[in-house]
Amino acid sequence: MHRDSVFVAVPNIAIRPIHMDEHEWLTIQGPKGNKLGGKVLTPAVRKHLLEVTRLYASSLQTSDSVKPLKRVVDRIDGWKRQTASLRKFIWNKGKSPSARSKYLFADWDAKLEKIFLEKPCNNLEIQFPLALLDRVLKGTILVSEIVQEQLQSDTESSEQKKLWFVWAATVFSILGKAGVSVRHPKRKNLLLGPVQLLSKLQAKLPAELHLRRTQDSFRKGAVVAFKIRSGNPTYKLERILRRWSRGDFSRRFGSPENSVLRRFDRLTEPYSKGRKE
């Protein structure tokens, strides 16, 4: 997603099945797996690698799934003004909510729903239905302010441009879990076999997702991805990949994924200013 656009629908581009035939797998791993440190990729590992690659491919945006951020924010602002005016007109005891109220809530999304939508009607609201409507409108205004804040924060951090690293780190993590060494045991450089496998998988992706285009930039990107992968379990990386591929870049307070994302932010910081190689 570009810095000035936001998802307004789940990306639903038709992604061709990502497939590698037996000859391609044998070429990648070499005779008896000698290109992967003597490890032969099992059918389950092959399937897993293709699944996460297709998941990354599904992030490709279509023109009908995004809109300009400024237009979206302006429309929400206009709706908030109209809704606040309606509240004043229908019930004069309401108080305008502030986005800062979010920080009073732990698990704010669940509690807002409980307070403003699921809470049973009190005697006043039973007697005066417009008081009930006022409560619901107050909750929707507060939710819209929180969403606006998240939209602007998410696009500023340009996670979509850095999604490649999450995918590549997941690929390396799957290989490591299968017993395939990605880095030379006595040196800091990555082994050629796993990097070539990553390159082969990238070749199966739509061209728009080939963010590391030159051989040198691809190698540097692979090193960053390996550092992100190190010490992080596959399921955490895959969970982030799954959410981000849907356009959900939210950061959840207290989430076990945050330790992964802190390292991710530090390692991909040079790529956060729109740099694209």
Say whether pLDDT at 194 is over 70: yes
Residue bearing the bigger pLDDT, 96 or 174: 174
Give dist(CA 271, CA 159) in Å, integer.
Answer: 10
What percentage of the chain carries pLDDT values higher than 70? 78
Say whether pLDDT at 182 is over 90: yes
Please report the pLDDT score of residue 216 as a whole number.
Answer: 79
Global pTM value: 0.66
Helix H or strand E segment including 7: strand 5-7
Give dist(CA 35, CA 27) in Å, integer.
Answer: 9
Determine the 3-state secondary structure of 44 from DSSP: helix
Q: Which tokens hold the place of 197? A: 């496998």
Taking only the tens place, the pLDDT of each residue in 34-45 is 999 999 999 999
Please report the pLDDT score of residue 246 as a whole number.
Answer: 80
Residue bearing the bigger pLDDT, 164 or 99: 164
Residue bearing the bigger pLDDT, 66 or 225: 225
pLDDT band at 276 (very low <50, low <70, confident <90, very high): very low
- Identify the residue whose tokens are 């279509």: 62
Say whether pLDDT at 99 is over 50: no
Say whether pLDDT at 76 is over 90: yes
Say whether pLDDT at 104 is over 60: no
Least confident of 91-95, 196-200, 240-244: 91-95
Q: Which tokens hold the place of 130? A: 């417009």
Say whether pLDDT at 274 is over 60: no
What percentage of the chain carries pLDDT values higher than 90? 40
Give dist(CA 71, CA 69) in Å, integer.
Answer: 6
- In this structure, which amino acid lies at residue 194? P
pLDDT band at 11 (very low <50, low <70, confident <90, very high): low
Burial of 107: CB neighbours in 10 Å, binned 0-12, 13-18, 19+: exposed
Burial of 260: CB neighbours in 10 Å, binned 0-12, 13-18, 19+: buried
Could you tell me the end-to-end alpha-carbon distance of the chain, in angstroms, rounded to an integer? 16
The length of the chain in residues reads: 277
Say whether pLDDT at 103 is over 50: no
Say whether pLDDT at 251 is over 90: no
Strongest mean pLDDT among 60-69, 141-150, 204-213: 141-150
Residue bearing the bigger pLDDT, 93 or 155: 93
Please report the pLDDT score of residue 179 as a whole number.
Answer: 93
Say whether pLDDT at 268 is over 50: yes
Please report the pLDDT score of residue 7 as a whole number.
Answer: 72
Please report the pLDDT score of residue 260 as a whole number.
Answer: 83
**Spatial CB neighbours of 41, under 8 Å, sequence gap ≥ 6:** 25, 28, 29, 33, 49, 178, 180
